[in-house]
Amino acid sequence: MCTGACARVVALPLYVLALLSIICNVVLFFPDLDGKYAAEDRAGEARITEEVKYMGGVVGGGIMVLIPAIHIHLTSSGKCCANRCGMFLSVGFAAAGVAGAVYSLSAALLGLVNGPMCFWKNEQNPSGEWGVPFANSSGSYLTEKETWNRCIVPEGVVEFNVGLFSTLAAAASLELVLCLVQMVNGLFGCICGTCSGKE
């Protein structure tokens, strides 16, 4: 496959994955799809899961992947960047995308392991409090769904966090693979050209 065509195959999914990462991260600020928790958190009362505030999906999987995706797409378009120099630069941009994807993946996995912030109760804590009840479980709560009912408010917050953080982790993993593929493709494009005729 021509290196320019390969760059197009890499760039288009990166656009989608970057947008998906941004959306997932933004939605995580609204557990139970209610803005009051974000407002209370801004007022100084911890209500939002800490890993959401790391902005892994917006900064890492979003912006740090979107910018390389634009340049990678330009290397496939037959315009200004469709040359050996453009392919060489795409290696650097793809490396930035790798860093962003790793950051997004790390934040998502940390969010999955620690679990959500919620108002929770159990036998040892009958009065209840806001906190992270699964923080010391090393992620074992993920397979113990019977413990998810400890979180009372926001309603369904465990499923909400697990679903969105899992989506973020999957998107970041795909971004990582695609950016690594583009690094290799960019090296070949730098050495062999882009098949565009504008070398």
DSSP strand E in the chain: where? 118-122, 125-131, 151-153
How open is the CA angle 160-162-168, to the nearest 5 degrees?
100
Residue 196 pLDDT exceeds 70: no
Residue range 120-139: mean pLDDT, rounded: 87
pTM, to two decimals: 0.89
Residues 6 or more apart from 54 whose CB is under 8 A from it?
107, 110
Give me Rg for the CA atoms of the chain.
Answer: 21
Confidence label for 73 from pLDDT (cuts 50, 70 and 90):
confident
Residue 105 pLDDT exceeds 60: yes
Q: Which of 3-17, 107-121, 177-191 has the highest mean pLDDT?
A: 107-121
Mean pLDDT over the full length of the chain: 89
- Choose between 6 and 175: higher pLDDT: 175
- Choose between 183 and 75: higher pLDDT: 183
* Domain definitions of the chain by residue range: 3-192
